[in-house]
Structure formats: C-alpha cells, structure tokens
Structure 1
Amino acid sequence: MEHKIAIIGLGYVGLPLAVEFAKKYKVVGFDINDERVNQLNNGHDYTLEVGDADLARVLTKGSEIGLRLSSNVDDIRDSNIYIVTVPTPVDRNNRPILKPLIKASETVGKILKAKDIVIYESTVYPGVTEDECVPVLEKFSGLKFNEDFFCGYSPERINPGDKTHTVANIKKVTSGSTPEIGKVVDELYKSIIVAGTHLAPTIKVAEASKVIENAQRDVNIAFVNELAIIFNKLGVDTHDVLEAAATKWNFLYFKPGLVGGHCIGVDPFYLAQKAQEVGYHSEIILAGRRLNDSMGDYIATEILKFMVKKDITVKNAKVLMLGITFKENCPDIRNTKAIDVYKSLGQYGMQIEVYDPWANFEEVKAEYEIQMIPELGANYDAIIHVVAHKEFKDIDFNRLKSNKGVIYDVKGALSKNIIDKRL
C-alpha cells in the first residue's frame, strides 16, 4: 500500500514529524490555524523546531514526495494514514481537556475511508484512543472499528528546543489496534526513525508508557525541590550536595527548579485523573505535582527575605526577571512556571521587568498580560535568573544591579562568584 500521510496539527510535535515523513512520503500537514499555515508556507516556523532551510527542502506544491501545508480539510481527503498531534492540556482545576482530540477525531471521521489508519500521538491516559476517540471516528464515518478502519498510538517524545534529540533520533514506541496493524504502524515509523522503534503489545500499553515518562521525571524533580527547601533551611548549598552525591554511579542527577511546560507540568494529572476514575487516589504523583507547583511562591518568598535582609525597600523595588519561557533556548511559553514567580513578587508592589530574547512579545502580552522589555536596563534592586538561556551567560550582572541589588539564580547555572543566592 502506498502511504499517503496527513498530519493533523502543526505545532511543536506535528511539524517536525511532518517534515521527517516528507523526506520519504507524500505528506499533507493540516492545521485549523490559517495564520500558522500561511507562516509555514512562507518558509518560517516560529517555534524554531524546524529551521527555515529544512522546511524549504521538503515544501512542495505538486503531487510528488514532500510536504504540502493546508487548513482546508479537502486537501487531506485522499490520505490513508492520519496522524493526530493536537495538544492535550488541562483546565484550571487540572482536569484533562480532551476537546482538541475529539474535534480532530471528528474532522478525520468525516473523511475516513475503508482500510484507513488513524494514529494518535497526543499524550493521554490509558484508554483514550479506544474509549474516547474511536467512538467519534465511528460516529462521523459510519465505519466499524477494526473491520473497516484501524487505529494506532505512538506517543510523541519531542523535547522542545533540543537540537540533538530530534524526531529521528529518539526511539519511538508504536502500537496498533490489531497485531497486524501494529506491525504496519511500526514499519511506518521505523522507515524514518534512525534510533529505532519499540512495538508495544497494545494501544493502552503505549499510552501508559508515555504518561509515566513525564510523571516519573516530575516526581524526581519534586524530590530534589524538597531537598532544596530543606537544605536552604540548613544553610547548605543544594547544588554542592548534588554534585557530591552524583559521584556515585547509580545516583540520578536531577536539579531543583520550576517544572512547567506542556508535558511534565500536565501529564501527571492525566494519569491521576484516570486512577481516580477507577477508584484509586494517587499519593506520590499528586504530591510531587503539588510541591512542584508551589516552587514559584517559594522562590518569590526567598527573594523577598533576602531583599529585606539586605535592607532593600520592597515596595516599588525595581526587579528584573531573566526569562519567561518554560525552559532554556526555546520560545515555548505554554504553562511556564516563571509566571508564578512574577505574580508572587507582584503582590508585594514590586516593579517587575521581564526580559527574554526567545519569547514572542505579542504572545507573552496576549497570554500573560506582560509587556516585556526590548533591552536591559540598570539599577535593579533584584535580578532573578529564571531561565538559563545561552544569551544570559555573558551578561555583566554588576552593571545591571544597584549597589545593594541581589542576584538570585533559580537554575543554578551561573557562577557562584556572581550570585548572592541560588535555589
């Protein structure tokens, strides 16, 4: 069978995947956001996951192998493999929002044909593909699951901003709704994934494997964050402790910090929600998330105490926050925990300026109502190194701060000779 692939969703996950597949197959990238599609057709990806040159190499307007981008559903009608890569966020109460996934399933269901395969990559709790998405596909297509059409699940493992662990270089978990379809899905991904694939026995196993990856990392960082709180009270430098402990061969070296983003800061809630539905209240997973969610307030309090200790007037103090994205060297501001530090400090009447050369000014303004500064000022009473962007390594901090100004390093990435305190 000739594979004609449609990628549904052209964000941080969908676009890199579409580009990789387009090197070997005829691919149509579909997104309901006209502005996003137009931008990509003009040769630029604002997420910076795909370089302009790489995008230009695969873009095509013809019927040959390559990538075509569209917001018109008619352009994906003749596809026989649909890969759904839409986001799966949580609401303000941390409950899973499946609406984007359901809407994407409706779109695909309306054009689904016999023998087509629908593969989901969006992070979900075990059972979502078969229990939530398949009924939508059946309803809108009038076809029967595992008789007329089939499904697969292959969890995304994109690490935004990472130019080493790209799509092709990360081992891919695959699965199918039948053993035979599992092999088809596995072979499809194996054709583009240099790192290889792992065929899971069922879709639910593949779904579960993804959601525990980030839950595990979240719990590990929560443990180190708790250690940081304890060691700060004891007057011990947490990073020095971790460096010493890391000399043992089996020590897991995680660093304290803010844990946000669209994956680690969200996925644990998906697993906890499903656990609750089957009668189990998660202890460790939710405890880790609660602690990590509290770190913004903790950091703000630590900065406040240090300012008071140095006899800096808190009200109307001039404060600089370096970084607003959820991680370093990446423009992604989704679910960034840097905003927690900003809001907490703002409660004390401080005048906070945010500088981030990676974040989009308009996006930050629209999402968080923050007007970032285009260039650094001077005479700051407090400077907070929130995100370890590479551009911040060469900053002359002494030029920026006031005489009594304090420098707080959230990431522990600056020289100890520069800073006053670190998490």
Structure 2
Amino acid sequence: MYQSLINKEKKVAVVGLGYVGLPLALELAAHMDVIGFDINSKRIAMMQRKEDPSKEVDADMFANRSILFTDDVNVLKEASFFIVTVPTPVDDHKVPDLTPLQKASETVGKVLKKGDYVVYESTTYPGCTEDDCMPILEQFSGLKGKVDFKLGYSPERINPGDKHHTLSNTVKIVSGCSDESLQEIAAVYESVVKVGVHRAPNIKVAEAGKIIENAQRDLNISLMNELSIIFDRIGINTFDVVEAAGTKWNFHKYTPGLVGGHCIGVDPYYLTYKAQQLGYNSKVIASGRFVNDEMPRYVAKKIIQHIIKNAPSAANAKVLVLGATFKENVSDIRNSKVADMVRELLEYNVAVDFVDPHADAEEVKHEYGLNLAAEIGKGYDAIVLAVAHNPYKDFSEEYLSSIANEKALFADLKGIYRNKISKLKYWSL
C-alpha cells in the first residue's frame, strides 16, 4: 500500500479537516495524492482559497501540495487509504458522543473497497476502533474487517497554538490489525513524521496510550487546582509555592487553571465510561474531573465575594473577562470553561464584558449564547485574565487601573502579573 501511495498509483483521503486533519493532509500531500474531505462546505471553500478555518496553518503550507479539497462523498471512491480525524466530544451528561465518528465510518464504509486501509486518529476509549467503528465499516461496505480491508489506529498529537511541537517533530503512535498492516501504516506516517513512530503491539494499546496522556495531565492539574483552593484559605500564592517546590529535581511543575478544550477536559470521560462498561467505577480519574469541572464556579464565587464587599454598588457591578478560547493564542472555543465562568457570573446579575482577540463572535453566540464585546470599556469592579493571549500579557498597571473602579479586583488566573500589581486588589489561583 505505502509504495502505491508514494508512486501516486493510489490516493490517501483525510476525513475531517479540523485542527488535526488539515495539517496532516497537507503534510501527506507533499509526498502523495491526497483527498481532503469535510462535510462543512464553508470550510472547504476556505481551504480551496488556501485559508485554514482554525487559523493554525499558514498559507504557504498549501503551496506545492497535491491535494483536492471536497465535500463530495463520491470523490472519496478514488481513495484507498482513509484517515479519520473527526472530533470525539461528550454530551451534556459527560457521556461520549460517538456521532461524528459513526457518521464518518458510515461515509468511509460506503466507498470502501477490498484491499483498502482505514486508520482512525480520533481520541477514544480502548476498543472503540474495533468494537464500534469496524462493524459500521463492515455494514456499509459489505466487506469483512481485517480480511477484506485493513484497520489501524494512530492517535493525533497536535497541540493547537504550539509552533514548536509539530506533526513532523513529535513521535507518532501507530498500530494495525496485523503485522503487515502495522508496517504499511507505519511507513505512511514515517513519510511525514521525521522523528519516527512508535509501533504499538495492537490497536487497543494505541488507543489507551493516547487517552492516558490527557488523563494524566487532567489529574495533575486537578491536584494543583485543589491545592490552590487550600492555599487561598491559608493566604499564600499557589504559583509561589510551585516555584519553591520546583527547586526539587523530581518535582513536575503543573499549575492551576480552567481545564477546557476538546482533549484534557473531555478524554478522561471516555476512559471512565469504558471502565463503567467493564463494571469498574473510576475513583481517581473521576475525582480529578470533578475538581476541574467545579473551577469555573469557584472562580466566579471568589469574584462575586469581592464585589459584594468592595464594589460601590453590587447591584450595578461590572466585570471584564479577558479571553474566551480554551487556551492561549488559538481561536478554538470548544468546551471553553471560561464561558462556564461567565455564565456563573451572569447568574449573579452582574454585567460582563466578554472579549477575545481570536474567538469568532458568531461561534461564541451559537455555542454558548454569550455575546463578545467589541472592545474593552471602563468602570470595572473586577478584571479577570482568563486566557493568556499575547495581547493580554503586557498591560501596564496604569492601564488596568484606568479601566477599573477603586478597590477593583484583578483576578489573574494564569499568574502572569504576580508581584506586578499593587494598585488593584490582586488574586490568582
């Protein structure tokens, strides 16, 4: 298969062109003929104009690439190697929502031929690729999985906003349903991942390897969040404590914060869901998720407590929230815990100016029912630095004071302005 792709006798199709799929498709298109497929025609039109809807890929990355962007399922019939990179969210009850993965499997199943390969990159629980996705491929293709077509899993390791850890310089986990398929899949990824790949012994190990990457980070951050609540009651700064503890050679420097996004804030639920299916109720992982999910409410409560004690008129209080995306310097608003915090503030009937230089106002309105303010105003009783976008890192205290009322709170959730604020009441996690 690999040699046929390199010789351009066969084509690769990347199904789902978000922050994971598009960079992968473009890298592969430097070596092979690629079909970039997405159901969103608006996004396809942007990519045809060499624009990345996620604002992660520069225009020059589209140059000299053998790629066709399309939302036409019929075009997928030309492909022989399919890579599925669709989202794997949870629903309102924190239960895995496999709808995008199921729909993508249906689409691929309808065009699948004998001898084809299907590789999934979407983060999910161990067993999903073989137990949930393969039967759909079989149903819609009429073919037998692992016999008529080969199956594999290679979890994405894209870090949005990170220009240092990229697809090409980050080791990629690969797996296949047989030794032969593993070698073919590994060869395809080795063509774009310059530092090499890790061959997992089977698909379930690859799935599990990915999901514990994010579960581990989630647990470490939940520990720091719980410590921040304790240290706040003691009256010491968590970032000062981490700095002190960090002088020990084996201490890992995690910091507190709002844990959102489509990875760390979601993936642990896939693992606890699978554990429940197997008759085990997770304790440590579930506890970490509970702590992190409660942080927006905790932060909002701290802000309201300050307003009640210090604002000239609590009934007419006004709060500025800086940042709406799930992390700094990206446009992605999915599972934004900042939005949850804003909703909590609004429950107390305070006015909130919600701003972000990267987020799309229409998307924020559609996803959360919240309005982004066009610009920063004045007369705030609290200023919340929620996301460390570059434009928010260099505010002078004079500027912050000029837009705030006397005795206003500066809630620095990222600890960026620690030891730099004296005129405003300073608080951080």
TM-score w.r.t. structure 2 length? 0.95
Contact residue 311 and residue 381 of structure 2 kept, 8 A = no
1:408 to 411, 422, 427: 411
1:196-345 alignment, distance < 5 Å? 196-345=196-345
Provide the C-alpha distance between the structure 2 equivalents of 1:388 and 1:347, rounded to a whole number of angstroms.
25
Indicate the residue corresponding to 2:8 in structure 1: none
Q: CA deviation at 1:316?
A: 2.4
Query: Counterparts of 2:242 and 2:420 in 1: how far apart (Å)?
Result: 19
2:315 aligned counterpart, secondary structure: coil
- In the TM superposition, residue 405 of structure 1 has moved relative to its aligned partner by 1.7
Give 1:311 shift: 4.5
- AA of the residue aligned to 1:252: H
Q: Secondary structure at the match of 2:176?
A: coil
Asked whether the equivalents of residues 307 and 317 of structure 2 are also in contact (C-alpha less than 8 Å), the reply is no
Alpha-carbon separation, structure 2, partners of 1:421 and 1:267: 30
Q: Which runs of 5+ in 1 are unaligned?
A: 60-65
Deviations 1:158-197 (A, max 9, x none): 1111111111121100000111101111111011102211
Counterpart of 1:349? 349
Alignment of 1:174 with 2:174, yes or no, is yes
Q: CA deviation at 1:404?
A: 2.5
Q: Does 1:34 align with 2:41?
A: yes
Given that 2:109 and 2:139 are in contact with CA atoms closer than 8 Å, whether structure 1 keeps it comes out as yes
1:421 maps onto 2:423 in alignment: no
Return the letter of the residue paired with 2:56: E
The answer on whether the counterparts of 2:322 and 2:385 sit within 8 Å (CA) in structure 1 is yes
The corresponding residue for 2:16 is 9
Return the letter of the residue paired with 2:389.
Answer: H
Provide the residue aligned with 2:128 in structure 1: 128
Is the Cα contact below 8 Å between 1:10 and 1:85 reproduced in 2? yes
| 1:140 alignment counterpart | 140
**C-alpha displacement of 1:58:** 4.0
Shift of 1:308: 2.9
Distance in 1, matches of 2:218 and 2:313, equals 36
Contact conserved, 1:317 with 1:350, CA < 8 A, in 2? Answer: yes
2-structure distance, mates of 1:86, 1:417: 43
Quote the sequence identity (%): 50
**TM-score normalised over the length of structure 1:** 0.96
- What is the alpha-carbon distance in structure 1 between the residues aligned to residue 315 and residue 32 of structure 2? 60
- After TM superposition, list the pairs within 5 Å mapping 1:84-103 onto structure 2: 84-103=84-103
1: CA distance, partners of 2:378 / 2:390: 20
For residues 195 and 342 of structure 2, the distance between their equivalents in structure 1, rounded to whole angstroms, comes to: 40
Residue type matched to 2:4 in 1?
Answer: E
In structure 2, give the amino acid aligned to 1:85.
Answer: T
Counterpart CA distance in 2 for 1:145 and 1:387 is: 45
CA contact (8 A) 2:311 2:317 kept: no
**Cα distance in structure 1, aligned partners of 2:348 and 2:76:** 53
Aligned-residue offset at 1:312: 4.1
Separation of aligned partners in 2, 1:46 and 1:311: 41
For residues 17-45 of structure 1, the C-alpha deviation after alignment (integer angstroms, 9 at most, x for no partner) is 10111111111100011111011111211
Matched pairs, number: 416
Structure 2 segments unaligned to the other structure (5+ residues):
6-10
Structure 2 residue aligned with 1:156: 156
Contact 1:314 1:349 in 2 (8 A): no
Task: Note the alpha carbon deviations across 1:330-366, whole angstroms, 9 max, x for none.
Answer: 1100001001210111111100011100101111111
CA contact (8 A) 2:311 2:408 kept: no
Moved over 4 A (4+): none
